[in-house]
């Protein structure tokens, strides 16, 4: 498969912390122990919605009001309060387990309906279309939530490698399982992702191997966004098919 460079149209969100500027958000900043340990799903959902709210006026909501500082970065205290509200209203965390993958698109759709945003979320369950869907979403300036599922059977200890890029070379930096990240770009057979407030890279071939051999594509998959069709458009399409 030929891999092309593709990325979001706007700079990914940065939060100003004591350690400098982040690349996306991180559950490790939260005061809640449960969030620090199991909150990656809330962060993934929150960051995608926040990116949309910052770059699409129709997606901005009251939950995001006042978060962006004058320098263009996000306020750290307000970011944590934002995650707390999302968790309380839309996407709860199960202690000891985290967030079931199927609840992520359900929670995002509740959010979209509540604020009358013309987007919807769903899992892409087709293994053959995963890369195509990621590329298409990024081309439309829509970040993608990527689930790195739990091992099946669950007692196995296999993990997926996350890489850091140094001088154009990808070097191993961390290993994960049962984790959510946000895909922000594609380049040279690697996914550029945000996790724990840092920029990492995932080998596409290694992800496919992990999902197929160590996990399952039912839980190792993507939550993708698409434009909601208006009733008028659907009626016109149906008439055209007659």
Q: Do the domain assignments include residue 130?
A: yes
* CATH value at residue 76: 3.90.70.10
40-55 vs 76-89: helix axis angle to the nearest 10? 110
Q: What is the pTM of this model?
A: 0.91
Q: Which domain holds residue 88?
A: 12-228
Q: Do the domain assignments include residue 80?
A: yes
Q: Is the pLDDT of residue 240 over 60?
A: no
How many domains are there within the chain?
Answer: 1
Share in percent of the chain as helix, strand, coil (round to 5)? 40, 25, 35
Q: Do the domain assignments include residue 40?
A: yes
Q: Is the pLDDT of residue 2 over 50?
A: no
CA distances from 227 to 46, 142, 175, 186 (A): 19, 10, 34, 22
pLDDT digits (tens, 9 = 90+) for 112-171: 999 999 999 999 878 889 999 999 999 999 999 999 999 998 889 999 999 999 988 899
Helix (H, G, I), strand (E, B) or coil at 115: coil
- What is the DSSP-derived secondary structure letter of residue 56? -
Q: Do the domain assignments include residue 182?
A: yes
Residue 72, both tokens: 């263009």
Q: Do the domain assignments include residue 204?
A: yes
pLDDT score at 151:
94
pLDDT digits (tens, 9 = 90+) for 22-70: 999 999 999 999 999 999 999 999 999 999 999 999 999 999 988 888 7
How far apart CA 218 and CA 233 sit, in angstroms, is 31
Cα atoms in the Cβ-side hemisphere of radius 13 Å centred on 146: 32
Q: Do the domain assignments include residue 155?
A: yes
Q: Which of 26-40, 93-107, 203-217, 218-232 has the lowest mean pLDDT?
A: 218-232
Q: Is the pLDDT of residue 237 over 80?
A: no
- What is the DSSP-derived secondary structure letter of residue 93? -
pLDDT score at 236:
56
């Amino acid at each position: 498969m030929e891999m092309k460079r593709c990325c979001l149209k706007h700079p990914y969100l940065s939060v100003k912390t004591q350690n400098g500027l982040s690349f996306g958000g991180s559950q490790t900043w939260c005061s809640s122990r449960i969030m620090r340990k199991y909150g990656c799903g809330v962060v993934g959902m929150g960051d995608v919605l926040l990116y949309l709210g910052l770059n699409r006026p129709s997606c901005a909501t009251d939950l995001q009001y006042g978060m962006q500082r004058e320098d263009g970065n996000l306020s750290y205290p307000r970011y944590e309060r934002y995650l707390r509200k999302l968790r309380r209203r839309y996407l709860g965390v199960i202690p000891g387990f985290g967030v079931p993958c199927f609840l992520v698109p359900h929670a995002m759709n509740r959010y979209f309906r509540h604020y009358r945003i013309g987007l919807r979320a769903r899992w892409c369950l087709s293994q053959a279309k995963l890369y195509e869907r990621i590329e298409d979403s990024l081309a439309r300036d829509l970040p993608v939530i990527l689930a790195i599922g739990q091992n099946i059977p669950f007692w196995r200890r296999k993990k997926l490698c996350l890489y850091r890029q140094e001088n154009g070379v990808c070097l191993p930096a961390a290993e994960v399982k049962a984790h959510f990240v946000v895909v922000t770009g594609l380049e040279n057979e690697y996914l550029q992702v945000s996790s724990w407030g840092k920029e990492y890279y995932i080998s596409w071939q290694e992800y496919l191997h992990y999902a197929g051999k160590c996990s399952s594509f039912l839980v190792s998959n993507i939550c993708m966004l698409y434009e909601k069709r208006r009733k008028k458009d659907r009626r016109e399409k149906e008439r055209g098919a007659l």
